[in-house]
Chain A
Amino acid sequence: MEDRISTLPSNIIEAILLRLPIADAVRSSVLSSRWRYEWSTIPHLIFDKHSVPSSLHYKLEKIVDQVLLLHSGPIHKFVFDGYAYLEDFAVVNRWITVLSRNNLRELVLRFCPDRLYKLPSTLFFCKGIVILDLHDCEFRLPRVFEGLGNLCTLSLENVVISDNDFVTLISNCPLLEKVAFMDFYGCSRLRFNAPNLRELIIDGLFEDIYLENTPDLAILSVGLDDADDLDDEGDSDNEDVEKEHYNFMTSLNAVLKIENLSLRHNMLEFLAGDGLLDRLPTYNYLKKLHLSCVNFEDTRHIAILQCWFRSTPVLEELTIEADSVDSSNPAASFWEGKERADFRFNQLRYLTVTEILGVGPEMELIEFVLANSPVLETLYIRLDNDVCDEVKIYKQIMRFRRASTRAEIINLD
């Protein structure tokens, strides 16, 4: 029988090897003389749970060492997902040195969350790098940092970095398009001077975000963690903090090309502290809006909701996660005596309301949106777990008039 696969051109053999977990790819060297060295030039080296059999995890470092030693040619992508406990980070420094000489374009590192890896300065001289996805790391930029001129995607999670280093890093990567910044320590005033930024995700504890120069930002998702430890000392700083919020407000006024906005966790509270109301510009591109932790019994929250509704004429998808406090104020109303606004959700197609308790203002909101959304396709509803009388709530919702003849209601429970 003739050997079919080995007559394939080298680029196809490489394409096949690239689609194999690294263990299988390396093992192909014992197949036949034709395959002996084929694996050693594959440009992607991925070490994670999937690509290395679990029986070998305990010596993952040695495996990486060996593979790097035997490999030849460029390594465009290197992934080390170190679910395994690393005895000594020195090995990682060694890998990065090797990688920095081999045309690295994409680097993904993940270690144990409880021990941070201090990034070696070598990394910041890998000018060709396009994608950086680093977890459990500590940043200290070298004194001379000329920037990463090709970096497009930066994802940092569970990292330590100072405010200054963060600003320097971001503003020296001019091509940056996507940034995800989560669980960070050591910095609290995040400034973004990134003219090409299109997507920004921030999740953590911060005092302020300043989108200094991000004219093309299309996707913004911000979640503010609970400031448990800081609560007590908060009072004396209050004035300062509020002043700092001002930057985020200014920033929101500047990102007019935003298409998808998500404000999570304490963000509503963050905005509520600010008296921004009525100050939002009109967002003519904003199609998706996601607001979480909305307390329908807090008039400030409701004011913010109304403010957003007025500013988003082309909204297509609205998602609201409620976090209401039940019956503290049974008389509360969504409209609070204000005249019902004259706006309509002319393009709204999907409304999702979750964790609702069925308190008055929540029901009013649903009623209002159903009555003013002529092209609504679906209303998704999920009640809070504490709700006892579900039937009553659903019955009430069923009775609401719908401006859209096509609108259906789907229960997500």
Chain B
Amino acid sequence: MSESEMAIIKPEAMKSYVWLQCADGSIQQVEEEVAMFCPMICREILQTGTGSSKNYAISLPERVNPPILSLILDYCRFHQVPGRSNKERKTFDEKFIRIDTKRLCELTSAADSLQLKPLVDLTSRALARMIEGKTPEEIRETFHLPDDLTEEEKLEPLKNTNDDPRIRLLNRLYAKKRKELKERQKLKDVEVEEPRVDERSVDEILSFINGDGDSKSAKASKNKKKNRRKKEQTKDPSRTDSEKSHKKDASTLSLVISEAGGSYSPSSSRASEIQHNPEDAFATRVDFEDGDVDDGLDPAMKEELDREVEDFARRLNSDWPERMQEILSLSQERRAVPNLMNGNGSLRRYTGILVINGPSNMWMT
């Protein structure tokens, strides 16, 4: 029997096979034409000549475990056949990725390590579809992501601070403090005094800021600077009447700052990261309402001032997540309320956040 006759009668006998070895040591024999569909395997065969026998099996990357390998081979077996229509291929692909999330991720990773680009495209598109239009909570649930960012961190990089009235308030305060500092420097008054605690003012200002009579109990804190500053304000002879009328506000606000500065420490390691966030730096420096921003301050003092102001912002924000939680818990009811802003269901759900953080958190909607 000639070779060609044999090929006609028993085509499978003519097929050549390659040997593949997974990281766990298991070895299997695969039709060469199927395995060659993976560029990584193809390269091994052509360049190193491995795979021809069980003893010289091609070692697959660690990310390819046996069950995933068999999935990948299914994919290759289908797609290496020439002449399939696009529609057939699409239908196959759609069915192929109907697997649980865990396996889908493993498959993506394995396909990547085998450089099987069409499969990487297919699976990453499928993963993207699981994320698109979903809320962070839903995504975390789908992929079992750890919720390891604090609420204020979540808000930090995305907020548009210029539009936020709280930040405007902060900026006004910032400018005012710089003025104070400058004046103090003029007087060469650099004494350091013992801090005193004033919890009543903290309460007061919290309710002032929240505007809702927030009954949160004041946290005992170690305030370092507020009294010194209060004293200076009263001492300061250059103060105008109008400034005096704001004195209470100013001083109580500064209490909050020092209070927050003293008690805030949930993620101090990340605080520096946030401080170096360009957007953040941009936001705190731009949009001053008082014109008297100046240089020539003691850099160390300036840094301290910056830190205080940042902490103040964070302290303010730290109340918002609680409010957000309340609103989120109402979201089921809100879903039923027709929303004129957007017909999209997933957006509708987040109306609460949109209302509260609307200007500051454009991406949270």
- Taking Cβ atoms with an 8 Å cutoff, the residues of A that contact B are 1-9, 11-12, 15-17, 19-21, 23-24, 26-36, 53-56, 59, 62-63, 66, 69-70
Contacts and interface: CB of A to CB of B under 8 A. Distances in A.
B149 A55 contact: no
Contacts of A66: 158, 160, 279, 362
A30 B146 CA distance: 11
Given A1-B144, A55-B342, A56-B362, 4 more contacts: A4-B105, A24-B131, A32-B149, A70-B278
Contact of B105 (A8, A33, A34): A8
Contact of B143 (A3, A33, A63): A3
Contacts of B133: 24
Contact of B131 (A1, A7, A16, A29): A16
Given A20-B128, A53-B342, A33 B120 contact: no
Contact of A16 (B128, B140, B149): B128
Interface in B275-303: 277-279, 282
Contact of B347 (A21, A30, A53, A70): A53
B344 interface: yes
Interface string B230-265: 000000000000000000000000000000000000
A26 B341 contact: no
Contacts of B120: 12, 15
Given A27-B136, A55-B341, A5 B124 contact: no
Counting contact residues on chain B (CB < 8 A from A), the size range is: 35 or more
Contact of A32 (B127, B148, B160): B148
B187 to A, nearest CB: 39
Chain B interface, DSSP helix/strand/loop, else mixed: helix
Interface stretch (B88-96, B106-114, B304-312): B106-114
Contacts of A24: 131-134
Interface in B332-365: 341-342, 344, 347, 354, 362-365
Contacts of A55: 341-342, 347, 354, 365
Nearest to B120: A15
Given A9-B112, A31-B140, A70-B279, A26 B363 contact: yes
B136 to A, nearest CB: 5
Contacts of A56: 362, 365
Interface string B175-211: 0000000000000000000000000000000000000
B147 interface: yes
B125 interface: yes
A11 B153 CA distance: 25
A63 B364 CA distance: 12
A214 to B, nearest CB: 32
Contacts of B124: 12, 15-16, 19
B101 interface: yes
A43 to B, nearest CB: 15
Contact of B160 (A9, A27, A34, A62): A62
B15 interface: no
Given A8-B105, A31-B136, A59-B362, A54 B342 contact: yes
A12 B109 contact: yes
Contact of A69 (B106, B139, B282): B282
A5 B157 contact: no
B102 interface: yes
B145 A12 contact: no
